[in-house]
Amino acid sequence: MSLYLPIAEMSVNALLIILVSGGIGFLSGMVGVGGGFILTPALIFMGIPPSVAVATQASQITASSFSGVIAHARRRGLDLRMGLLLSAGGVVGSTFGVQIFAIMKALGQLDLLITIFYVFFLGVVGALMLWESLAALQRRAKGGPPARRRRKRGWAHRLPLRMRFPQSGLFISVIPPIGIGVLTGVLAAIMGVGGGFIAVPAMIYLLRMPTGVVVGTSLFSIIIITALVTVLQSAQTQTVDLVLAVLLILGGVIGAQFGARLGARLKAEELRIILGVIVFATALLLLWDLVAQPSELYVLSR
């Protein structure tokens, strides 16, 4: 079934969009990332303009994250206090990021900026995830004990303005969570991502939060950040395509529920290595699209 997207000014296969969105929503609910770092490149590969893909799929991340956080909250996998701090930083970061987005759009360099950001971040994150996951699998194959994060006092415990987080069992400064939220908000606005692929590792390795509450907390902050980004992009850049948004939300909400259920049953090493392969492969595809000679050297556009 073909549908016309008024803002993107093109027709798309509606069923294909729903299936892709559902698969990425499944991934979102399973590992606690918004999924935008895969969905935006997928939409770009389908021919949707990067600016429209970035602005529109933030609405899908909001819906799928809301669906996923409900499932995690039922299992007490949500630190509400930490989530609110991350969201506060995200509001500041997303507001600033939308301004950068609008400036680059006016200069005509937005599509290039989005692609470069994706190549860099996906390449780095994908490589690190693959390295850590392969090392964990190798240790397990040799019969060695799994690497454990030591809950020692770090720099986040020595900074001022400390607060207690009973659900996570932490007593740390509020500065690092707010800083993580600011970075997440900027990435959400410029790259169209929920920021979970940055926030989740940061909460685990920098804040030393228990893994059991990281996923739900990440999804909670993603809801607020991406909802704000959707509103700001609609008002300032007019790049949100409502028809595309409805298709993305429909698939994402359904997929996130199934992903949250399956995520609790899978082993972390296998899950991370699959995600790492997907992330790194996406970075390579975008890099190739950036440097390869196009089939048409000159394209007329209005």
**pLDDT tens per residue, range 46-66:** 888 877 887 777 776 777 677
Does the pLDDT at position 74 exceed 80?
no
Residue 49 pLDDT: 82
> Mean pLDDT over residues 127-140, rounded?
74
Does the pLDDT at position 285 exceed 70?
yes
Pairing of strands 2-5, 170-173: unpaired
Residue 302 pLDDT: 43
Which of the pair, 195 or 294, is modelled with greater confidence?
195
Provide long-range contacts, Cβ within 8 A and 24+ apart, for 104-109. 105/51, 105/237, 105/239
- Residue closest to 28 by CA, chosen among 69, 59, 76, 56: 69
User: What is the Cα–Cα distance from 111 to 127, expressed in whole angstroms?
Assistant: 24
> Mean pLDDT over residues 235-250, rounded?
81
Residues across the chain = 302
Burial of residue 117, with CB atoms counted within 10 A of its CB: 0-12 exposed, 13-18 middle, 19 or more buried: middle
Q: What is the pLDDT of residues 25-41, one digit of tens each?
A: 777 666 655 566 677 77
Residue 269 pLDDT: 59
User: What is the Cα–Cα distance from 197 to 122, expressed in whole angstroms?
Assistant: 9
Q: What is the pLDDT of residues 111-125, one digit of tens each?
A: 777 778 778 877 877
User: What is the Cα–Cα distance from 286 to 234, expressed in whole angstroms?
Assistant: 26
Give the confidence band of 295 by pLDDT, cuts at 50, 70, 90.
Answer: low
Give the confidence band of 270 by pLDDT, cuts at 50, 70, 90.
Answer: low
Q: Which residues pair with 164 in a beta bridge?
A: 171
Residue 32 pLDDT: 57
Share of residues in the chain with pLDDT > 70 (%): 75
**pTM, rounded to two decimals:** 0.66
Residue 156 pLDDT: 61
Does the pLDDT at position 292 exceed 80?
no
Does the pLDDT at position 90 exceed 70?
yes
Q: What is the pLDDT of residues 148-196, one digit of tens each?
A: 445 555 666 677 788 888 878 888 888 888 998 898 888 777 776 666 6
Residue 228 pLDDT: 82
Q: Mean pLDDT score of the chain, rounded to an integer?
A: 75
Residue 62 pLDDT: 74
